[in-house]
Structure 1
Amino acid sequence: MSVKDKVAIVTGGGTGLGAAVSTRLAAEGARVAVNYSRSAADAEACCTAIGHAGGEAVAIQADVASDADCRRLAAEALERWGRIDILVNNAGITRFADQADLDALDAEDFVDIYRVNVVGAYQMVRACAPAMRAAGKGAVVNISSIAGVTGIGSSMAYAASKGALNTMTLSLARSLAPEIRVNAVCPGFIGTRWFADELGPERYAARVKQQEETTLLRRAGRPEDIAVVVLFFCGEGSDHITGETLMPDAGLHLGFAPHVAR
């Protein structure tokens, strides 16, 4: 899974899952551009922690919904390190809305979510692809969600956007081969600060307990669990894999199996 001396861009890389991915890639020897849109302090803190651990990272502000920002982000990473080998499209947004209430979302909610979760990922790939080809090969990892497979999630718009991201992963894998591999990771529940803030302490604790009691592996996902999967798709161990959609969700997508012992 070696990524030593590779250059990686992680969008939304300063908090939650993005920070775990940035930290893991840097720990394995990659130089990491930690992108953020608004969370400057978190991104800088992530880079500082990476530096203290002996890694190399820089925080770069850019909104992936803006094509100009995507191109600038790629250009800054290229100017700093001379190459781009890895792109992790982690930046994403949602709206929490009951899927049974069709009035809970409007057209602008869909447009806003798609602009970041789908169009943003596309724009980042387009901005980075020339440098990856110049480097000889590259790896793109799209952070999707089990919501994009099951249709269940924080909102119908979010689930639809992740389904679109999964389909786009297949299209990009075809169009960018053979130099650039494109894969998607579809986590289930991940225990992050963002999730805890959105749900509140009691609902968050209940969600963790539910995962521990109902998933086949009896585990609630952590950012570090997903980061190691992303590392695999970025490294040499996955050189024979493209167009894959992997669900690291403790078996959640298979349903509840009450006979599985703890």
Structure 2
Amino acid sequence: MTHRKRALVTGAATGIGRSAVLALAGAGYDVALIYASSAAGAQATAAEAEALGARALVLQCDVSDDTAVRAMTRTVDEAFGGLDALVNNAGTTANWKVKDLESLDLAEWDRTFAVNVRGTFQVTRAAVPLLRKGTLPAIVNTASIVGLRPGPQPLPYAASKAAVVNLTKTLAWNLGPDIRVNAVAPGWMEGDWMERMLGDKYDDLMGKRARSTPLRRCVTADDVAETMLSLLQGNRFVTGEVVVIDGGFASST
């Protein structure tokens, strides 16, 4: 019997996480789906993964809590006996009024960094022993185009994604040659996240962005998952890199 590969995806309930889970399931992986609060979304995604032939393990975990992270990875190890792939996708953001620095709540700043940066590190650190049991193990982190260039996004979110970019490169140096570590940096992405960020301006601003993009549309969660899967399964001599997924927008402006 062919051995199924094993993956862990954080922020797995919706959006990029959901698409990553389904891409991995379709490629022959059993998947541990980690979620923070969207239990119903995680269960729905797990059901979709199981329909593709995967074994799906659903676990709740706040990735900013190292004790919880250690317990979660122990459970995954007991169930799967190791990992071949890790997708660090869990993330959050802060509220603010554009260009109004006083509108930022520093508690939200701290929470954003706790989840997006420390959480990425803590999950990676706890998963390393599992990945070392895997075959050609690899990690993909979710960064963002806002971590590479300025924009109207909340300062803590943009700064945290810049930290994820650096963390990706530093982890690649520390975990090589056994474990590869790369990141993806999506541009403006269709879906619920940007709808919340842009509000009633969503259709207008996304349309303008699409028209200014060489590929004439904005990125989707499935686009991101496709690149993640490529970095996990192939690109065997690529590590410490950040792949921009924006249809060529950044290079044409």
TM range (shorter): over 0.9
The yes-or-no answer on 1:191 pairing with 2:190 is: yes
The correspondence of residues 27-176 of structure 1 with structure 2, limited to 5 A, is 27-135=26-134, 137-176=136-175
SS at match of 1:247: strand
SS at match of 1:239: coil
**Partner AA of 1:7 in structure 2:** R
**Partner AA of 1:241 in structure 2:** V
SS at match of 2:100: coil
Match of 1:252 in 2: 249
Q: Deviations over 1:41-80 (max 9, x none)?
A: 0000001111123222121110101001111221111111
Q: Structure 2 CA distance, aligned partners of 1:122 and 1:71?
A: 12
SS at match of 1:160: helix
The yes-or-no answer on 1:229 pairing with 2:230 is: no
Q: Structure 2 CA distance, aligned partners of 1:156 and 1:37?
A: 23
Match of 2:236 in 1: 239
**Partner AA of 1:6 in structure 2:** K
Q: Structure 1 CA distance, aligned partners of 2:248 and 2:135?
A: 36
Bigger mean CA offset, 101-110 vs 65-74: 101-110
**Partner AA of 2:22 in structure 1:** T
Q: Structure 2 CA distance, aligned partners of 1:203 and 1:10?
A: 31
Deviation at 1:197, TM superposition (A): 4.0
Aligned length: 251
Question: Aligned in 2, Cα 1:148/1:197: closer, same or farther, shift over 3 Å?
Answer: closer
Q: Structure 1 CA distance, aligned partners of 2:76 and 2:245?
A: 29
Bigger mean CA offset, 5-14 vs 118-127: 5-14
SS at match of 2:189: coil
SS at match of 2:101: coil
Tell me if the contact between 2:95 and 2:104 (Cα under 8 Å) persists in the aligned partners. no
TM-score (norm 2): 0.94
Cα-Cα RMSD:
1.5
Q: Structure 2 CA distance, aligned partners of 1:141 and 1:62?
A: 19
Tell me if the contact between 1:96 and 1:154 (Cα under 8 Å) persists in the aligned partners. no
**Partner AA of 1:120 in structure 2:** G
SS at match of 2:86: strand
Question: Aligned in 2, Cα 1:68/1:137: closer, same or farther, shift over 3 Å?
Answer: farther
The yes-or-no answer on 1:17 pairing with 2:16 is: yes
TM-score (norm 1): 0.91
Q: Structure 1 CA distance, aligned partners of 2:251 and 2:83?
A: 37
Deviation at 1:98, TM superposition (A): 3.5
Tell me if the contact between 1:9 and 1:32 (Cα under 8 Å) persists in the aligned partners. yes
Bigger mean CA offset, 36-45 vs 64-73: 64-73
